[in-house]
Structures are given as C-alpha cells and as structure tokens.
Structure 1
Amino acid sequence: MTKKVAILQSNYVPWKGYFDLIRAVDEFIVYDEVQYTKNDWRNRNRIKTQAGVQWLSIPVRQEQLEQKISETRIADRRWAAQHWRTISNTYARARYFGRYAPTIEAWYGEACACDLLSDINALFIRAVCAELGIATRITSSRDYDLQGDRVERLVSICRQAGAAVYLSGPAAREYLDEARFAEAGIRVEWMRYDGYPEYPQLFPPFEHSVSILDLLLNVGPEHAAFMKT
C-alpha cells in the first residue's frame, strides 16, 4: 500500500476543502508546533449571513512573539456561547438546522471548557470528520521528531510516518522544494480547490469560502454531492 499523508495547521471549523484534503489521505497530521499567526484561519472562520460574510473569531492571548499554535490560550471563555448564538440566529431557517443544531450546540458546549486553541480546533475537526464519514487517521506533529528548516521538517515527518506521497495545499507552491522530497523518495501531489459546485445556500450570492457548518446546515446528508471526495 502506498501511504499518502497531509500536514497542515489546525483551523477553526474549516471550510469544505480542508475536509476534502483530510479524506484524500491515509494520515492527516495536525501541524500546530509552528508559530501562531494573527489574522489567519487558526482562530477564526466565516459564515454566510443576511448581511454578507461574517467572521467568527476566538479571542486568544498572544503572550510571546514566537508563540506556537499549540501554546495559544483562550482569552475569554464566553466566545463559545457567542458563536453558537450567532450561528443559531443566522441558520435558523436553513433546511437542516433542526437536524444538526443539537449536535453542533453540544460541540460548542464541549469546546467552551478547552483552554488551548489547538484543542478546540481538534475537537471540531474530529467531530466534523465523524459527521462526514471521514475515517482518516488524525495525528499531531507532537507525535514526531521535528528536525531542520520548514521544508526539512515536512520531509522528516513524512519519512517518520512512512509516507510515499505528500499531499499539499496549493498555497505551499511558493516555498515547497519538491526536489527535497524526491531525494527522500517521497512524491509531492497538489490538492486542487477549483470546480466545486454551488449548493442551496441561504442569503445569495453564493460564497464557497465559508465554514463547513454552512454546508452541513444547508444540505445535510447530501453534503457529499458538493465536495470533491
């Protein structure tokens, strides 16, 4: 068997493409032993509201300049109740709100008790994967010995994981040196996020780059028809 892995920082309730990437590999490695970046997807994501796209952001403490994602702590526990209230108000008329509301509310209730951003993100990622029927093994970069510069770390993790193929998101084309993977006997493949079909979404015009919650609440069990894998 040719093992394929992906290595990516955790995001807060990510968009559908993030979950397509997870489904496409044998092991998904959450790469939170890297620097936390402000105004990024680590602690925030978007939903579609009547007034347009709206950010949901988890308040976090940035206590040091080179703070890792895995070290980033929550600044205000009230965020979970606030986010759930916004989601429930926004999607109350979505076709599958009644079906998923108790489940999603329970996720937020559990997330409220977490002190670390990584734990919150992992909770949502694993819960959504279960809801989507994604059985990919999910591990953490903490389970591996991290060595070298940015690219060498990825190569090293792939080696330790026994990967023959590394599936990368398209944004990494700017820095990823495929030759260094090839030297280690690892083939690089690139995820594509074009060609997604639109689905019946509240509040047109349609927007793809919103949280997976939008897809679940609008199309429910028909979600597979609007994803890639």
Structure 2
Amino acid sequence: MYAADCWVVLDDVQFTRRDFQHRARLAALGDPGERQWLTLATHLPHGRQSRISEARIVDPVISRKRVGLLLRQHYGSSPHWSTLEAVIAPVLELVAADGRTAVIAETSTRLLLDLLGWHGSVVRSSTYSVRAERSERLADLAKEVGADTYLCGTGGARYLSLAPFAEYGIGVAHFRPPARGGAWTGAREISVLWALATYGPQHLTDLLLDGSRA
C-alpha cells in the first residue's frame, strides 16, 4: 500500500470473515515465527450478505480492553513502544466509542501510514458508481481516481482479470515484498506492528523509500 499514490478504501464490499477486515496476525517480538491471531469479534446484521460498512464490533468495551492487553503483551517491551502506543491509543478509543469495523480498520491503517510518512490520497469506493464484478469493480475504481497503474498484491493476483484494465489502458503491477528477512520477515503474513516494534518507524520508512536491505 505504501507504494501506491492513492488508496481506495473498499467500504461497500461484502464482509469476509476469513479475510483481514477484522483481524491481524501478531508475531512475538523476539520470535516472528511465534504467532497469534488478534480478532475483533464482529456482528453481521444480515449474515454473510452483510457489507463491511454494516459490521459492528461485539462488546466494544471488552474488545478494547482485550486488544490493548494483547498488543502490550506482544510489544510493550520494545524500545519503540511509546511511539506505537501513541498510534494504538486512539484506535482503542475508537473501538469502544464507535464500534464500526470498517471505520476502525480504515483509521488504524491511516495512522500507521501517517507514522511511516505516506503522503498519498485516500478515497472510498462507495463514492463511485462502478460495476459489481471483482475485476471490473477495481478497474472502474482505478479509472475514477485517474490511475495509470493498478498495484495488485499477491492475494488479488489469484483472481484478477487483466481485460477490464486493458479496456481503460490501465496497467497492472504485481507487488511482492522482498524475501530478505530482517524487517521484511513474514511481511505477507504478519502485522506490520512486529517490524515497527523491532526496527522502529524510521528504519522501516527508510526501507520503504529506498528498497534497501534490513
């Protein structure tokens, strides 16, 4: 996401329990191979057909406490904890005060991007009229924001059709995190909080900017 100029928040898509819309995989500070799911229990008012904008956190106050304790347990001993805590605290308050899964996911991502010095723009998919099919939707959104390239992660590459993008003359670039270890360890599988807690925001920002080895 850091490599993109514009992030289109998909705030009107169907909620998917097996995705990362309400959960993240935390890695232990001293051993990134030791992992644990952090999950926000989520209520779907219309069952599996619920959109992410309709999803609500179950027991927001209890969820806030649990998430806060789990994050402190994993990263509280990091020398960078005070910096991380300044980002985590407003998210925890939002969990208790708002309880909307989509808002919490977007806000937490924005705060992390801000911490890393990202200067791109953020828009929401619900703002635009687009086609319903997966690839067509993404191509339409890319066109609406004036993109010349769609940056595709490894997950989306499995189903993405290039034809809708070709119709608009929009290229598709496949992004894969470097397999270098260091700060990139488990980058496809674990929360960025591990790299931030282990190496610090400035080191990670430098890597993202120049692509150098951790």
TM-score by shorter chain over 0.5:
yes
Alpha-carbon distance in structure 1 between the residues aligned to 2:192 and 2:125:
24
| Higher deviation after alignment, 26-35 or 120-129 | 26-35
Q: Quick one: which of 200, 203, 206 aligns to 1:222?
A: 203
State the match for 1:7 in structure 2. Answer: none
Give 1:114 deviation, angstroms: 1.7
State the match for 1:5 in structure 2. Answer: none
Give 1:194 deviation, angstroms: 3.6
Q: Is the 8 A contact 2:152 2:173 kept in 1?
A: yes
Residues matched between the structures, number: 203
Alpha-carbon distance in structure 2 between the residues aligned to 1:126 and 1:158:
20
In structure 2, list runs of 5 or more residues that go unmatched: none
Secondary structure at the aligned position of 1:45 is classed as: strand
- 1:86 matched to 2:70? The reply is yes
Q: Quick one: which of 73, 89, 114 aligns to 1:105?
A: 89
Alpha-carbon distance in structure 1 between the residues aligned to 2:122 and 2:164:
25
When the two structures are superposed, what TM-score results if normalisation uses the length of structure 1?
0.80
Kindly provide the CA deviation profile for residues 68-103 of structure 1, in whole angstroms up to 9, marking residues without a partner as x.
Answer: 112111111121221111111222221212343244
Counterparts of residues 145-184 of structure 1 (less than 5 Å)? 145-184=129-168
Alpha-carbon distance in structure 1 between the residues aligned to 2:57 and 2:157:
32
State the match for 2:98 in structure 1. Answer: 114
Label 1:198 to 1:174 Cα distance change in 2 as closer, same or farther (>3 A): same
Which has the higher relative contact order, 1 or 2, with Cα contacts under 8 A spaced 6 or more apart? 1
State the match for 1:54 in structure 2. Answer: 36
Label 1:210 to 1:142 Cα distance change in 2 as closer, same or farther (>3 A): same
Q: Is the 8 A contact 1:36 1:72 kept in 2?
A: yes
State the match for 2:113 in structure 1. Answer: 129
Q: Is the 8 A contact 2:87 2:112 kept in 1?
A: no
Alpha-carbon distance in structure 1 between the residues aligned to 2:136 and 2:203:
40
Kindly provide the CA deviation profile for residues 117-168 of structure 1, in whole angstroms up to 9, marking residues without a partner as x.
Answer: 0000111011111111001101110111122422221222122222221111
Alpha-carbon distance in structure 2 between the residues aligned to 1:193 and 1:164:
21
Give 1:45 deviation, angstroms: 0.5
State the match for 2:191 in structure 1. Answer: 211
Please report the RMSD computed on the Cα atoms of aligned residues, expressed in angstroms. 2.2
In structure 1, list runs of 5 or more residues that go unmatched: 1-20, 201-205
State the match for 2:55 in structure 1. Answer: 72
| Higher deviation after alignment, 78-87 or 144-153 | 144-153
Q: Is the 8 A contact 1:168 1:189 kept in 2?
A: yes
Q: Is the 8 A contact 1:166 1:188 kept in 2?
A: yes
